[in-house]
Amino acid sequence: MKFPGFRSVRQFCKWLVLCSAFLAGAPQGSPAQQAPPSHAGQPQPRSQKVANPLNDLLNEAQHDVDTGAFEAGIAPLQKFIAEKPDVAYAHFQLAYIYTALHRPEEARPEYERTIALDPKMSEAYLNLGLLLSEHEPAAAVALLRKAVDLLPAQSRPRMLLGTAQERSGDLSGAAESFEGAVHLDPRDTDAVLHLAMLYFNLKRFADAEPKFRAVLEAKPDSVEAARGLAESLEAEKKPEAADAWRKYLALQPDDTAVRARIVHFLVDQENYGEAIAELDRVEAGKTPTADSLRLRADILIAQKKTDEAITTLLRALALTPNDPKLLTGLGRLYMQKRDFVSAEKAFQAVLKIDQRNLVAWKNLSSTYYLAGNCPAALGALDVIAKAEPPNAASWFIRALCYDTLHQLKPALEAYQKFLSLDEGKNPDQVWQAQQRSKVLMHQLEEKRR
C-alpha cells in the first residue's frame, strides 16, 4: 500500500528513526562551533542505532497487517496515537484495520481524522469514499472527487467516483467519470464495460455498441459484453442483433429465455421464416411447451396461416386447457374464418374461468353481431356497459342491432350517441349513422302521424 510522501510503512518508520536520532544525538551549536574532524589513523566513533518505542509500535502494527492479524494491530496503533495524536498515517492505518475487520463505524472517524491532519493524503479520500459508496453514495461522491483532483493521472479514482455517482442516481455524471477513466487507460476492460452499460442505461445505444465491441475484442468470452452488444443492437433495431444473440448463447447455452427472445426479435423484424427456423432449433429434441406453441401460433398468424395457427393453439390448449389468452386467441382465429359457433365456444370458455373478463365479453358481443344474433349481442353489450361507459364503437354496434331489429327510437338514440362520441374519426361510419338517422327520424315522424 502506498501513501503520499512515504512509499511504504517501513519508509515512514525509517524517517521517524532518523528524526529521533537527530533529536537525541545531534551536537549543539553552529557548524563552526562543532569539534574538528579526527585525524587520519584515529579510531572513528561507532554509529549507534537509537531505540524508539513509537517506531516499534508502528512496526508491530504493520507486521500484524502484513500477516492478516488485523485485530492484533489495533492496540499498538492506539498506543502510538495516545502519544502522537497528530500523526495522520497512524490514524489511516487504524482506519484501514477497522475497514478490514468490517467495522465501518470505527473506521470512518479515523479516516476523517486522517484527512483533517493531512488534506492531501489521497488514499484516505479513496478508502473513505469506498466505505461510504454503498450506503451513502452522495457523501462518497464528494470524497472521491477530491481523490480524483489529487490523482488526476490515475484511472481508478475516476472509476470509483463513477460507481458512487451511479449509485446516487447521477448516471450522466457517472458516464463522464468512466469516460475519463477509459481515456486514461483504454485497455481497462472493466472501465470500458461499465461505461458501455451506463450508455445503455441512458438509452445511448449507439454509444454503447462500440464500447461493448471493444470489450469483446479484448475478451471474446465476456458474457456481459456479449449480452450488452446484443441488447444494444436490438434497441437500435439492427438485423445483426439476432446473430449477436446467437454469439451470446454460445457463451450461455442454457439461457432459454434468450432463445425465445431471438424468435420475438425476428418476428418484430417480420423475418417469419427465420423465426420459425429458430423456434425449430429451440424445440429440437424437446416436447414443445405451451409458451413455445403460443409463439409459433403468433408467427403463423403473422404469415396468415390461419388453419395451422388454430391447430397449434389447440395443441397448446391440450397442455393448458384453462389458459384465457390461448382461448381468446383461438376464438379470434375462428372469427376470422367466420366460424362463429366455434368462436362463441372459445369466448364462453374464457367466461367460465372469469365471468368479469371484459375482453371476452367484447369479443363475444362482436361474435354475436357478426353471426346475426342481435339480441345476444345487445345482451353482451349491456353486461359491458355495467362495467365501463360505452364508447363510440359500442354505440355504433348497438345502433346497428336496434336498426336490424326495427327498434327505431333506440336505434336513432344509439346513432346520435355514436356521432357525439366519434367526433368524425371514422368517416364511413359517421356517414352511415347520419344517413340512417335521417331515415329513422322520418320513419318516427310518419308513425306519429
pLDDT digits (tens, 9 = 90+) for 273-301: 888 988 888 788 888 989 889 989 999 99
Cβ(122)–Cβ(137) below 8 Å: no
- CA 122 – CA 157 distance, rounded (Å): 9
Cα 435 to the chain's mean position, in Å? Answer: 56
User: Which residue reads 454509444 in cell numbers?
Assistant: 207
Report pLDDT for 397.
96
Report pLDDT for 12.
40
| Cβ partners under 8 Å of residue 309, min gap 6 | 297, 300, 301, 333
Cβ(347)–Cβ(363) below 8 Å: yes
Report pLDDT for 266.
87
Tell me whether residue 18 is exposed, middle or buried, using C-beta atoms within 10 angstroms of its C-beta: 0 to 12, 13 to 18, 19 or more. Answer: exposed
User: Which residue reads 562551533 in cell numbers?
Assistant: 33
State which H helix or E strand residue 387 sits in: helix 374-387
Q: How wide is the angle at C-alpha 376 spanned by C-alphas 371 and 378, nearest 5°?
A: 110
**How far, in Å, are 13, 61, 91 from residue 10 at the CA level?**
5, 11, 16
User: Residues in the chain with pLDDT < 70?
Assistant: 1-51
Report pLDDT for 391.
94
User: Which residue reads 451470446 in cell numbers?
Assistant: 248
Q: How wide is the angle at C-alpha 1 spanned by C-alphas 141 and 215, nearest 5°?
A: 60
**310: nearest Cα among 318, 319, 301:** 301
- CA 290 – CA 199 distance, rounded (Å): 37
Residue 348, φ and ψ in degrees, nearest 5: -65, -35
| Cβ partners under 8 Å of residue 356, min gap 6 | 387
Cβ(374)–Cβ(401) below 8 Å: yes
Residue 41 zone, left/alpha/beta (φ > 0; ψ -120 to 50; rest) = left
Tell me 6's DSSP state: B
